[in-house]
Amino acid sequence: MSNNKNSSEIASSDVAEDSKRALEERKLQLEISELEKVWYKKPTFFVPLVGALSSIFILWVTGFFNTKIESLTNKRDVLRYETEKLAESKKGLRKDSIKLQIAKKALLIDNAALVNEAKKAYAQYDSARIALVEKQKETQKTKKQNDSLNKQVIKKQAELYKISETLAIALRPNIEFNLHAIYDNKNPDIGIYIANSGSGPAYLRSITAYYKGVIITTTQKKHDFWSSVVKILGLENYYVTWVSYPLVENTKKPGTSLGPGQSYDALKLYNPHVTGRYIVKFLKAIVGLKLEIKYRSASGKDFSNSYTFTGDDFDVSQVTQ
> In the 8-state DSSP scheme, what is residue 222?
S
226 in any annotated domain: yes
What is the pTM (predicted TM-score) of this model? Answer: 0.48
Q: What is the pLDDT of residue 220?
A: 61
262 in any annotated domain: yes
List the domain range (segments joined by +) for residue 205. 175-318
| CATH number of 203's domain | 2.60.40
Q: What's the CA gap between 294 and 205, in Å, rounded? A: 5
Cα angle 6, 11, 16; round to 5: 125
Beta bridge mates, 215: 210
3-state secondary structure of 303: strand
In 171-219, which residue ranges form alpha helices assigned H by DSSP?
A: none
Q: What's the CA gap between 132 and 139, in Å, rounded? A: 10
Q: What is the pLDDT of residue 36?
A: 67
Q: What is the pLDDT of residue 198?
A: 92
3-state secondary structure of 171: coil
127 in any annotated domain: no
Q: pLDDT by residue (tens digit) across 276-306?
A: 788 888 889 999 999 999 999 888 889 999 9
Residue that wins the pLDDT comparison between 171 and 12: 171
Q: pLDDT by residue (tens digit) across 105-126?
A: 888 888 888 888 888 888 888 8
192 in any annotated domain: yes
73 in any annotated domain: no
Q: pLDDT by residue (tens digit) across 174-224?
A: 999 998 877 766 677 888 999 999 999 999 888 999 999 999 998 765 567
Contact 211, 202 (CB under 8 A): no
- Letter for the amino acid at 258? L
Structural domain tally of the chain? Answer: 1
Q: What's the CA gap between 236 and 230, in Å, rounded? A: 7
Please state the φ and ψ torsions of residue 293, each to the nearest 5 degrees: -125, 140
34 in any annotated domain: no
- Strand 257-258 relative to strand 202-211, pairing: antiparallel
Number of residues that make up the chain: 321
Whether 270 has a pLDDT exceeding 70, the answer reads yes
- Strand 290-296 relative to strand 240-242, pairing: unpaired
Contact 292, 304 (CB under 8 A): yes
Please state the φ and ψ torsions of residue 179, each to the nearest 5 degrees: -105, 120
Q: What's the CA gap between 284 and 234, in Å, rounded? A: 10
Q: pLDDT by residue (tens digit) across 7-18?
A: 666 666 676 777
Q: What is the pLDDT of residue 46?
A: 58
Q: pLDDT by residue (tens digit) across 16-74?
A: 777 778 888 788 877 777 666 665 565 665 556 666 667 666 666 566 666 777 788 88
Nearest to 293 by CA among 283, 282, 278, 307: 307
- Letter for the amino acid at 311? G
72 in any annotated domain: no
94 in any annotated domain: no
